[in-house]
């Protein structure tokens, strides 16, 4: 009986060692491992170090906590007086906040792999609001053919404030955007700026106020005028 009991005990010890070995995970520095509790379906995370997955915990994926800055992209928006411009914006800080709440949020509130694309969408909306509340002359210097630094710094503050309120609080991503001075504006738009047509469009834009339907109509009209102007220029 004794040898049999010892044999069973040995088998049990081996099984426990194998189970622990299989459950052991090593989480690399500046990363976090996301897991799901299969019973209640809740999500948790382990930070850097050695951990053991408990029964019912299933590995979901790894989240990077490193800064992932992105090069500038040109974003197309319209000013309050319907001048289309392209504004360079770069992500100087783009990372998951190093807290359990943020790690879980970036995994559950959005698709982690699409975090950049989703944040870029929010950035475009914020920029549309910031640029769309300003006249072309406020943000663009025709002599230097660059954006006006003081206004762009203010726009940058507005955008980063908006990102803090949404992206960081809701998705766990800390984002800091830099708005560049290399704003691009079509030659047709800059010429129209000094023409009677440009003044007429500005007056209509101001009269439209905040009515989104009228704003869409005026943008469509402005695009139609620009297209007709291009045809005349090519004719």
Q: What is the pLDDT of residues 92-141, one digit of tens each?
A: 999 999 999 999 999 999 899 999 999 999 999 999 989 998 999 899 98
CATH architecture of the domain formed by 70-185: 2-Layer Sandwich (3.30)
Burial code of 105-127, b = ≥16 C-beta within 10 A, e = fewer?
bbbbebebeebeebbbebbbebb
Mean confidence (pLDDT) of the chain: 79
C-alpha pair distances (Å), 144 with each of 82, 141, 148, 181: 21, 6, 9, 10
Of 98, 93, 99, nearest to 116 by C-alpha is: 93
Count Cβ atoms below 10 Å from residue 211 Cβ, excluding itself: 11
- In the structure encoding, which two tokens stand for residue 174, read together? 């800390």
Q: Where in the chain is the domain with CATH 3.30.479.30?
A: 70-185
Confidence label for 230 from pLDDT (cuts 50, 70 and 90): very low
Q: What is the pLDDT of residues 173-226, one digit of tens each?
A: 999 999 999 999 877 666 555 454 445 445 555 554 544 444 334 433 533 453
Q: Which single residue is written with the structure tokens 């053919």? A: 145
């Amino acid at each position: 009986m004794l040898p049999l009991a010892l044999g069973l005990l040995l088998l049990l010890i081996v099984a426990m060692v194998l189970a622990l070995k299989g459950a052991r995970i090593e989480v690399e520095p500046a990363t976090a491992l996301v897991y799901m509790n299969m019973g209640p379906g809740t999500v948790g995370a382990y930070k850097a170090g050695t951990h053991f997955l408990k029964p019912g915990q299933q590995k979901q994926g790894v989240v990077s906590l490193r800064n992932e800055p992105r090069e500038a992209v040109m974003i197309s928006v319209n000013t309050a007086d319907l001048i289309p411009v392209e504004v360079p914006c770069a992500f100087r800080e783009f990372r998951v906040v190093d807290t359990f709440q943020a790690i879980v949020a970036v995994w559950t509130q959005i698709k982690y792999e699409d975090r950049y694309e989703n944040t870029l969408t929010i950035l475009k909306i914020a920029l549309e609001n910031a640029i769309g509340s300003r006249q072309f002359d406020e943000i663009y210097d025709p002599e230097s053919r660059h954006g006006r630094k003081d206004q762009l710094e203010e726009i940058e503050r507005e955008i980063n404030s908006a990102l803090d309120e949404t992206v960081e609080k809701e998705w766990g991503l800390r984002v800091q955007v830099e708005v560049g001075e290399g704003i691009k504006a079509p030659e047709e738009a800059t010429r129209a700026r000094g023409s009677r047509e440009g003044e007429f469009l500005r007056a209509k834009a101001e009269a439209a106020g905040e009515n989104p339907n009228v704003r869409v109509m005026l943008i469509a009209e402005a695009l139609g005028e620009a297209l007709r102007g291009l045809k005349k220029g090519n004719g």
